[in-house]
Structure 1
């Protein structure tokens, strides 16, 4: 098998029918290495995508260039909660029952060193739309551009093929959104709900204008793999953005939060992030998660 590091393929695949996000915290005094070795051996990168927070990397006495802890955006005019997580496992599948069985297996595997502190069930809604009905991720890069956007390049040594993940759990006040006139809803996103076409007359606060990735210098492209979530009568979006660094995400979020010009994204009129965390998603090697850059042995 090739020695070239490969990405966790779930990063590049379209969002699945169902997803489950497991947030895991390292138990006080526990040694994470034996558990992470088992997790690496059972991670295929497609049906499960794994990310390590900076706190966990430090607990392993390791260092990943470019990895840091999310601490919000300086000068933001809205609240941006920072909720560091040691370990994230994004389960991807076709049925909720399947994901339940797999998460129970993982809970038992991780139990000697990690506690699962939060589980978020998510799903593919109406062919890739947000709960508001608007299409999500329209401007995602594709094919070679997706690889260039989401993955650390081949010349990066042992980090090649890895990715940096920004994750936010957004809560939508859907009743507030549904009370808006249709034109205001379209202007919130900057797109027509039915055609998904951008609106030339949308205000500067429209989401598409706040996040026009090609309008930044340098261009701020991320690969979005966000999924809607529902719990009882609450719902929203698990914003999931992959990049070869966090720079593009921070540029986008800064403009959304009014740092550049004092104009905040219209999304904040009905939705807000409840969490915010950064992760490093290791590459794959010989069919399993590649943790050699953290001192683990090769597969």
Structure 2
């Protein structure tokens, strides 16, 4: 997908277009209801760039970064006067067999680095600063697994856009000019039943995923009676244009607790693209022919955010501070 007006969009996108990292922390919090808590959160958001520099200077090759996503309810509390056109809470989905729940979240911190200790240190200092102003509702430490595979054994993120297609797919453009350079973000934490998956023969696994397992070759299933995960997650509009999203999924797990999962995080220019993708997965196309991957992979969270361009994030935080009591 291309967009002729991208030379006029300020692509300062909180490092959304950075290369996939070796480690990440996905941190979702809610913000306390009092004005002092909101003021403290705004002070912290305003200082995030400095915190990235404070932690990251120890090893610049570690490429520490942090993307902040803001939920609809918190956006309204910031009293910005307007909000991104499509921003709304995550809509739960009830399919015939499987469901995608909606869970709370005011802020998403997507912390990335080539070194897990940098992610840890950044999160530690960040939460120290936020203190009792927030409540952690979900915290996942992810890792890059072999050659970018998930714990099911398949390469993940192959269809990610690259080059000029990346901003055209992941970042808002002229259609909502006040929020150009920002991105809609949807997160879901999936837990896998690896024991049940291991009992599935590899050819059937490949049919479910839509790619070969060893060499990651796409399988053409257009004429198959049941569409694969790959096909259900491919979104084409009424004019025949394919709409991509940017995935930065990561495996996570605790073998001692028998916990194995994938943290799905999708960045999109249009929220409706991810919503339609999830509808196709859970309801099916045709209805009833749902994504068979869901028989082995269960979502435990579902939250929607908007990650504004860096200048807008700072402007939101600074404007809110002027209206709120001193935080510190």
- TM-score, normalised to structure 1, is 0.89
Aligned to 2:60: none
Aligned to 1:283: 309
Distance 1:27 1:99 in 2: 24
CA deviations on 1:35-82 (whole Å, 9 max, x unpaired) are: 223323223696101001112112223341221000223666521110
Distance 2:98 2:35 in 1: 37
Q: Quick one: which of 55, 74, 79 aligns to 1:56?
A: 74
Q: Aligned pair in 2 of structure 1 residues 5, 295: CA closer, same or farther (>3 Å)? A: farther
What's the Cα RMSD here?
A: 2.6
Q: Relative to structure 2, which stretch is displaced further, 124-133 or 153-162? A: 153-162
Distance 2:105 2:88 in 1: 12
Q: Aligned pair in 2 of structure 1 residues 243, 104: CA closer, same or farther (>3 Å)? A: same
Q: Relative to structure 2, which stretch is displaced further, 14-23 or 252-261? A: 252-261
Q: Aligned pair in 2 of structure 1 residues 206, 155: CA closer, same or farther (>3 Å)? A: closer
Aligned to 1:226: 249
1:113-128 to structure 2, matched below 5 A, reads 113-128=133-148
Aligned residues: 294
Give structure 1 stretches of 5+ with no counterpart: none
Give structure 2 stretches of 5+ with no counterpart: 1-7, 53-62, 323-328
8 Å contact from structure 1 (residues 204, 210) kept in 2: no
Distance 2:277 2:246 in 1: 12
- TM-score, normalised to structure 2, is 0.81
**Structure 1 SS opposite 2:208:** helix
- Pairing 1:272–2:298 present: yes
8 Å contact from structure 1 (residues 26, 113) kept in 2: yes
- Pairing 1:256–2:281 present: yes
**Structure 1 SS opposite 2:158:** coil
